[in-house]
Structure 1
Amino acid sequence: MSRRRMRAIVALAGALTLTAGVAACGDGDGGGGGGAGKTLNVLIGANTQYPQEFRAWQASISDKFKAQTGASVKFEEFATANDELTKIQTSVVSGTGPDVYAVGTTLTPTAYSTGAFVKLDDARWQKVGGKDKFVPATLGISGPDQQNQVGIPFVSRPFVMVYNTELLKAAGISKPATTWDELRRHAEQLTKGDQYGLAVAYKDNFDPWKFVWGMSVQAGNPLVDGKTARIQDPIVKQAYQTYFGWLTTDKVVDPAAIGWTNAQAIAAFAEGKTGYMALTSTTAAKALDAGKVKGKWSFALLPTVPPGATARPANGVEAASILSGDNVLVADYSKNQDLAFQFVKLITDQDAQLDYYKAVGNLPANAAALSTLQSDQKLAPVAQAAQKSVATPFTGAWADIQLAMTNVVVQSIPDLAKGSVGDAQLDGRLADAQKAAQSALDRAK
């Protein structure tokens, strides 16, 4: 066993965390281009919103890849960020697992910190078509700098909100909210009877922390300040109180939202009795056009002014979205690296990117593919959100920080079901999250 592998095992064993400075053994740029009889293993996030379309895409891309290379593709899916992190962890320790990982942008820094993924020099970028193939903004979280990158952009997923144009007009609201306080006021105007102002997915595995991150960054708290976590901060507490308050205090959210995932929140909005869906992306479009809101919905930027303010403070950041999407990484231990890069080239080529957009709604990271969608006026706010997206901190600790922030909501679900989250309970959970975040930062190099 190599010294590097031993360091990886010592660092990772016994905890669902990934630390910086570990590396898996690999065979350089080994593998071979000939794929007859070989199987390429690909890890990718499950799509619960459009599972049939996702399966059809997997079958289609597998057939194309086999025709090109002779190799088969075996997809493995993860359903949560926790699952995603666990799979990376176990693969780093064992030196076996998927050849290709499609991971969320916010998990890329943690994956990078393991040293277990192939770094992209000029030759490897050329294998997938070169950096110029991609929308420049999508490269913003491929690595800590341009000389140290592991993430190849697969899709772009700027977050926006969607609103019911008919309901807002009937309520006398001329344009969507631009501050979080204005969103609350609009939601109050829109809530009556069985109609609610806001749809929120409180039980989603990925959504909750994004609200808190956005509100905090806009208020001037980056959550990570160098090697210091800033979770146990009044700004963060106010963000959670705002997020919980839509349900418990303002009562502008359907109580059933306590158990909703993002897909369920979109489905509820599609029924036509909700004013706003608070966090979504272009992936929602198919579901909305298949619902009662067809022709009655539009995207808008998420608010960029923090709760309790009418303007951002001087140190606030106009963060309309996290820099969001999926990156594709090739495992350093893979014996099929040439095949892996051929697969990545295929799924990031223009035609394949447009096919994926049509199947599940994720925007292309391929520049040429994205340019073909510019005439769709519904996407204008999404393009604006992409321009105003801000990357989460590039630290190997971020996955643990993200999970700690989500866990505050997970632990608060029973209290939400009872009607309120008390100060003492929230303070205790924020203290736990701070401890977990700081511990992750202390371990990271």
Structure 2
Amino acid sequence: MRRGISIAAAVTVVALAATACGGSDDKADGKPKDPKDVSGTITYWDTSDAATEAPTYKALIKQFEAKYPKIKVNYQSVPFTDVEQKFKSAAKSGKGAPDVVRTDVGLMAEYASLGYIAPLDGTAALKNTSDFSTGAMNTAKFNGKTYGVPSVTDTLGLLYNKDLLKKAGLAKPPATWDEFIADAKTIKKKTGAYGTYVNPDSYFLLPLLYSNGADMADPSAKKITVSDSSAVTALTTAKKIYDEASMKVDFANAYQNMQTAFKNGKVAMLIQGPWSVSDDLTGSAFKGKEANLGYAPVPAGAGGKAQAPTGGHNLAVYQGSGNLDASYLFTQFMTSTESQITIAEKTGTLPTRTSAYTTAVTSNAKIAGFKPILEKTARPRVALPQVGSLFTPLQQNYVKILQGDSSVKSGLDATAKQFQTLLPGYSIG
């Protein structure tokens, strides 16, 4: 189904704009409003892990309320898997949407195109923006405006079991996909463990596409590129990894089985993100021996460059909020250097501000491991409102390719045709 602005949504956008203009403003009589005079109650939807991360955010909210006693924050924990549809439904209807939402960076363009979130340029929400990493800041922009403030960031890298690589006689992790396949075979032959476990989720296919000079689409040319020759090369490599280097994949429960196999030493290398490390360290291969977990960039492809998608979360302000001033101040506070340092130290997530990478923060092995990977390989996903929808047909056909039910070319051709229903006016190039 096409993700665009329906008639109902367009009406909602007009209503939201009117609400926003009629609510509080960042200025009064042409002068900036004094933060000490800002008052009201705002609702914040937090998608961080309710058990391990939410307590840190709740503690920061208490600090915010102490600093701004006239502002109260209604904290609500919303599961990451539920927040997209819940927020869009509330924003479209104009009922029940939060004033501030923690959102996946991949959803910014869609929310902005629908008029659900407010542009933040010139507001109190954006302060000291030069301190944000370029990659993180780019995830918050759409059509020349800034719609979010980067909170935490991540990317995909190559996690590996140092002991298994050493037993296989490998002095370093693979730097190319060809080396990745060759090393996986060596590991299996010399240790009995599998080289890798292919994650059939299409998001984890992006490093292969990017490193071969491919992508899903080209907005500047209005072309669908997911079936071009570079994409065929990428998927051919992915199929070869699956056939020659991977443990057998249980497609019904791939992620959990992949994690279990890696953390217990049955698989030596994974393309994964920093969110998995806490789980990795509970397995027999790494529990009590954290130093055995290695971090490296994703391998490079035929394009000669290793690249992976920039991930993470931004804070966005609802366009229809009746308390914009308070929302801006809250967003600024929660993304400040001081708050990011606290979040990084307590949760192990990676900051988006360069100033937040203190000695204490980088003493965390996960943060120290992924920081250079972010700087070296992370790049934004294609900036399209429909980008989230594109992953579904890509994944469906990717699975068919891996399972042998479709050739690489026919699978990608089918994906490109499905993309055309989601990207009106785009040609297959």
Does TM, scored on the shorter chain, surpass 0.5? Answer: yes
Task: Output one character per residue of 1:382-435: Cα deviation in whole Å (capped at 9) or x when no partner.
Answer: 2332223222222223222233323434x64xx96xxx32235x6665344323
**Equivalent residues in 2 for 1:181-260, closer than 5 Å:** 181-191=178-188, 195-202=193-200, 208-225=201-218, 226-247=221-242, 249-250=243-244, 252-256=246-250, 259-260=253-254
2:278 counterpart residue number: 286
Distance verdict in 2 for CA 1:267–1:75, change over 3 Å: farther
Asked if structure 1 preserves the Cα contact closer than 8 Å seen for 2:152 and 2:314, the reply is yes
Q: Please state how far the C-alpha of 1:252 moved relative to its aligned partner.
A: 2.5
| One-letter amino acid of the counterpart of residue 210, structure 2 | V
**Equivalent residue in structure 2 for 1:368, among 355, 359, 362:** 355
Kept after mapping to 2: 8 A contact 1:156/1:325? yes
Alignment partner of 1:53: what SS?
A: coil
In 2: Cα distance, 1:22 partner to 1:439 partner: 26
Q: Aligned residue for 2:60?
A: 61
Q: Distance in 1 between matches of 2:22 and 2:393?
A: 36
| CA root-mean-square deviation | 3.2
* CA distance in 1: counterparts of 2:416 and 2:15, whole angstroms: 28
392, 395, 404: which one aligns with 1:421: 404
Q: Helix, strand or coil for the counterpart of 1:291?
A: coil
Stretch of structure 1 that moved more, 252-261 or 99-108: 252-261
Counterpart Cα distance in 2 of 1:183 and 1:29: 57
CA distance, structure 2, for counterparts of residue 39 and residue 119 of structure 1: 18
Residue segments in structure 1 that go unaligned for 5+ positions in a row:
1-6, 14-20, 203-207, 313-317
Letter paired with 1:384: P
Whether 1:336 and 2:318 are equivalent positions in the alignment is: no
Q: Is the contact made by 2:48 and 2:54 (CA closer than 8 Å) also made in structure 1?
A: no
1:171-182 equivalences under 5 Å are: 171-182=168-179
Q: Which residue of 2 aligns with 1:300?
A: 296
% same residue? 20
- Stretch moving more, 338-347 or 324-333: 338-347
* Contiguous gaps of at least 5 residues in structure 2: 25-36
Q: 1:116 — aligned with what?
A: 116
Q: Match of 1:391?
A: 380
Q: Deviations over 1:70-125 (max 9, x none)?
A: 51333242444xx5543343234212312222222222122221222111222x1x
User: Per-residue deviation at 1:335?
Assistant: 1.4
Q: 1:10 to 1:29 in 2, by over 3 A?
A: closer
Bigger shift: residues 165-174 or 71-80: 71-80
Indicate if the aligned counterparts of 2:155 and 2:374 stay in contact, CA closer than 8 A.
yes
- Contact 1:176 / 1:300 at 8 angstroms: preserved in 2? yes
Deviation digits for residues 43-89 of structure 1 (CA, Å, limit 9, x no counterpart): x4454xxx521232343234334444451333242444xx5543343
- Aligned pairs for 1:345-384 (under 5 A) are 345-372=332-359, 373-374=361-362, 379=367, 382-384=370-372
**SS state of the match for residue 253, structure 1?**
coil
SS in 1 for 2:151: strand
Q: How far off its partner does 1:441 sit?
A: 2.5
What letter matches 2:196 in structure 1? L
Secondary structure of 2:53's partner?
A: helix
Q: What is aligned with 1:16?
A: none
Q: What is the Cα deviation at residue 233 of structure 1?
A: 3.1
* SS of match in other structure, 1:24: helix
CA distance in 1, matches of 2:14, 2:385: 11
Give CA deviations for 1:240-269 in whole Å, capped at 9, x if unaligned: 44435444x2252243475133x6634432
- Per the alignment, do residues 238 and 29 of structure 1 end up closer, same or farther by CA in structure 2, a change over 3 Å counting? farther
2:24 pairs with 1:24:
no
Equivalent pair of 1:128/1:342 in contact (CA under 8 Å):
no
2-structure distance, mates of 1:181, 1:64: 51
CA spacing shift, 1:138–1:159, aligned 2, 3 Å = same
Cα contact 1:200–1:257 (8 A) shared by 2: no
State TM-score, norm by structure 1.
0.77
Q: Secondary structure at the match of 1:52?
A: coil
Shift of the 215–246 alpha-carbon distance from structure 1 to 2, 3 Å rule, reads: closer
Q: Distance in 1 between matches of 2:232 and 2:313?
A: 29
Question: Contact 1:95/1:333 (CA < 8 Å) preserved in 2?
Answer: yes
Kindly provide the amino acid, as one letter, of the partner of residue 194 in structure 2.
Y
Name the SS for the 1:161 alignment partner: strand
Q: Report whether the alignment pairs 1:72 with 2:64.
A: no
Q: 1:220 to 1:289 in 2, by over 3 A?
A: closer
